[in-house]
Amino acid sequence: MSTIIYHNPRCTKSRLTLGILEEKGVNFEIIKYLDTPPSFDELKALLTDLNLQPRALMRTFEVPYKDNHLDDESLSEDALIQAMIENPILIERPIVRTANGVAIGRPPENILTII
């Protein structure tokens, strides 16, 4: 498995995480997830590997979160995952997947445990 970073070039933490990968000499693929959101199954797998519920991976202060009433506790996990696919700005970033696991680069040093 190759290393993948779900990256937003406008995000400072994402750029710092990318820098760590480069500094450590890791070969990786960049997925600009705002342009190419993960599929439902990919996002579900990331959540499973991160051991997180969907809302824990959501940027709850973003406008689509409020506009779509995603704070509604009756929403299913599948509905929240679908909302992240339809509004990828809601996905916390960056996410790095390696053969050793998955980590969120907040702080960027979090990825050191999987590279």
The residues annotated with a catalytic role in the active site are 11
**SS3 readout for the chain:** CCEEEEECCCCHHHHHHHHHHHHCCCCEEEEECCCCCCCHHHHHHHHHHHCCCHHHHECCCCHHHHHCCCCCCCCCHHHHHHHHHHCHHHECCCEEEECCEEEECCCHHHHHHCC
